[in-house]
Structure 1
Amino acid sequence: MRMIAAALLMLPTLVPVPTRAEEIAQVGVDWIGNDIVIEAIADPDVGGVTCHLAYFERSVLDRLSQGNWFEDPSNSAIQCARTGTIDVGRLQPGSPQDVFSEGRSLLFKSLRVKRIYDAENRVLVYLAHASELSEGSAKMSMSTVPLLAEDTGGGPAR
C-alpha cells in the first residue's frame, strides 16, 4: 500500500508538463454551474503560435448528482493562430511533441495538446486529445498553422 501511495505522489514528476495554460474565460452553460473553460497556451518550443483550448468543467452539483466525482469529460476544442514569427529550426518533421498536458481525473485521464511539424506542406498541426490509462479516447480536435516564407529553419517556401 505504501508503494502505491509513493508512486502516486511521484506521478506528477514522472509526467513532464511542457507549458502552462492561462485561463482567459469561463462560460456558464447551465443552471447547476457547469462551465466551458477557455485557456491560452503559448507554444514553448516554437514561439509565435498561441493555441486556445476549450473544455468542459463539471460543477460540484453535477458531480454529486451524476457520481464519477473525480472525472471531467474528455471533450475539447482547439484553435491555434500565428502571434509572431515562427522558428521551426529545432523541430523534427512528423514527430508528435508534447505542448501541454492537464489532468482531467484524479489519476488516469489527461487532456493533451501535441504538435506535429508537417515540413513537406509547411504547416504546424496541433492536436488536442484525451489520454486514458485503461482505454484510449476517440474525442479529439485539431488546428493547423501555415508557415510563411519568413519562418525560419523549415527550408525554402514553395
Structure 2
Amino acid sequence: MTIKKVLVVTSVIFFSVALHAEQIGSVDTVFKVFGPDHKIVVEAFDDPDVKNVTCYLSRAKTGGIKGGLGLAEDTSDAAISCQQVGPVELSEKIAQGKTEGDVVFRKRTSLVFKKLQVVRFYDKNRNALIYLSYSDKVVDGSPKNALSAVPIMPWGK
C-alpha cells in the first residue's frame, strides 16, 4: 500500500462523521498530576432518524498527558439509557427493521483505530426500539456492551 493510500484511509477513519453529543456533565475517577484527570463523561444525543428519542451515554475518558493531547485510548466501559421524549413516528425503513441495525452514534475513543458506537434495532413484535452501545477496534474489539429499550407508547395531549 502506498503512503498516499495509507494517509487517505487514516484520514477517513480519523475524520469519519460522528454524530454530535451534548456533554451533560462528568465526574473525576482518578487524579492525575500531569494532564486532565480520568473521568466518566455523561453525554446526550437525539436519534437522528427517530424524532423524540433521546439517549444518554456515560463513558470512560482517559486523562493524563496522553489523554490531554488526544493520544490515549479510552477503555471500553460505557452505559446507555434511552427515552421517548415526545410522540414517535417510525419511517418505513426503520419499521422494516434490518437485523444488523443502524448506527445512530459513533465517537472516536483512540487516535485512529477504536470507536464507541450505538446501534439501533427495531423489535416489531414488541413495538420497541433497542439501542446497543459497544466499542470496536480494527483488530480486537471488546465484548463489553450496554443495552437500552424504548417501548413506543402513545404520547398524551
| 1:124-135 map, 5 Å | 124-135=129-140
**Cα distance in 1 between the residues matched to 2:154 and 2:86:** 13
Q: Which residue of 2 aligns with 1:154?
A: none
What is the total number of aligned residue pairs between the two structures? 144
Q: Which of 109, 112, 128 pairs up with 2:114?
A: 109
Is 1:57 aligned to 2:61, yes or no?
yes
Q: CA RMSD in A?
A: 2.0
**Cα distance in 1 between the residues matched to 2:66 and 2:4:** 33
Instruction: Give, in angstroms, the shift of residue 28 of structure 1.
Output: 1.1
Gap regions ≥5 residues in structure 2: none
Contact 1:39 1:53 in 2 (8 A): yes
**Cα distance in 2 between the residues matched to 1:99 and 1:134:** 22
Q: Which residue of 2 aligns with 1:75?
A: 77
CA offsets, 1:61-112, max 9 Å, x none?
5769xxxx53110110000111111111331324300100001111111000
Contact 1:34 1:62 in 2 (8 A): no
Would you identify which runs of 4 or more consecutive aligned residues in structure 1 move more than 4 Å? 61-64
**Cα distance in 1 between the residues matched to 2:47 and 2:65:** 35
TM-score, normalised by the number of residues in structure 1: 0.82
Is 1:23 aligned to 2:23, yes or no?
yes
| Amino acid aligned to 2:82 | C
Instruction: Give, in angstroms, the shift of residue 2 of structure 1.
Output: 3.1
Is 1:7 aligned to 2:9, yes or no?
yes
Instruction: Give, in angstroms, the shift of residue 29 of structure 1.
Output: 1.5
CA offsets, 1:116-145, max 9 Å, x none?
010111111000000111023101000000
Gap regions ≥5 residues in structure 1: 151-158
Describe the shift of the 1:94–1:5 C-alpha distance in structure 2 as closer, same or farther (beyond 3 A): closer
**Cα distance in 2 between the residues matched to 1:5 and 1:94:** 33
Q: Which of 128, 139, 145 pairs up with 2:144?
A: 139
